Amino acid sequence: MQESELIVRRIKEGTVIDHVDGGKGLKVLDALGIDGKDGSLITIALNVPSGKYKKKDIIKVENRFLKDDDTNKLAVIAPSATVNIIKDYKLVEKRRVSLPNEIERIFRCSNPDCVTNSSEHIESVMDVIDKEGRVLRCRYCSRILDVNQLKYR
């Protein structure tokens, strides 16, 4: 077991989000709506040494298994993250996050005049036009969206 894994305690059932870029951990919690209000155990390690010069954040959430929407958010915020699903203390699934071709609903278009921000309740749809560079484009108003400035719905 790696030293970094010993920093936060093992969990029985839930998700370990590892290799989050150092400093993005709190943003990930916010995006996924993980606030501990349901009483589940959450452990977070920020700025864990990873490799020679890098730092990473690790998040462990008990009793929660990430859904597709969550994974899509992660892919935008922390593209190098890995998602580990734990059941009965065992790692049963490990997946890398990757951007889908389109992202529905979860982000708000930054264009205030966009129809998805009007009172018509049209859900946002964003096309991922560059997966490497993480460039998104609103399908309705064609605005190019900066992934670092996206707001969640």
- Min CB(138)–Zn ion separation in Å: 3
Q: Tell me whether residue 16 or residue 109 sits nearer to Zn ion (CB atom).
A: 109
- Min CB(65)–Zn ion separation in Å: 31
Q: Tell me whether residue 32 or residue 145 sits nearer to Zn ion (CB atom).
A: 145
- Min CB(44)–Zn ion separation in Å: 33
Residues ≥6 apart with Cβ < 8 Å to 132: none
Q: How far apart are CA 88 and CA 85, in angstroms?
A: 10
**C-alpha 70 chain-centroid distance:** 6
Binding site for Zn ion (CB under 5 A): 109, 111, 114, 138, 140-141
- Min CB(149)–Zn ion separation in Å: 13
Q: Tell me whether residue 46 or residue 141 sits nearer to Zn ion (CB atom).
A: 141
Listing from the earlier edge strand, what are the strands of the sheet with 144-146? 102-104, 125-130, 135-138, 144-146
5-32: burial string, b at 16+ Cβ within 10 Å, e else:
eeebeebebbbbbbbbbeebbebbbebb
Q: Tell me whether residue 85 or residue 141 sits nearer to Zn ion (CB atom).
A: 141
- Min CB(102)–Zn ion separation in Å: 13
Q: Tell me whether residue 16 or residue 128 sits nearer to Zn ion (CB atom).
A: 128
CA proximity to 75, closest of 13, 123, 8, 135: 135
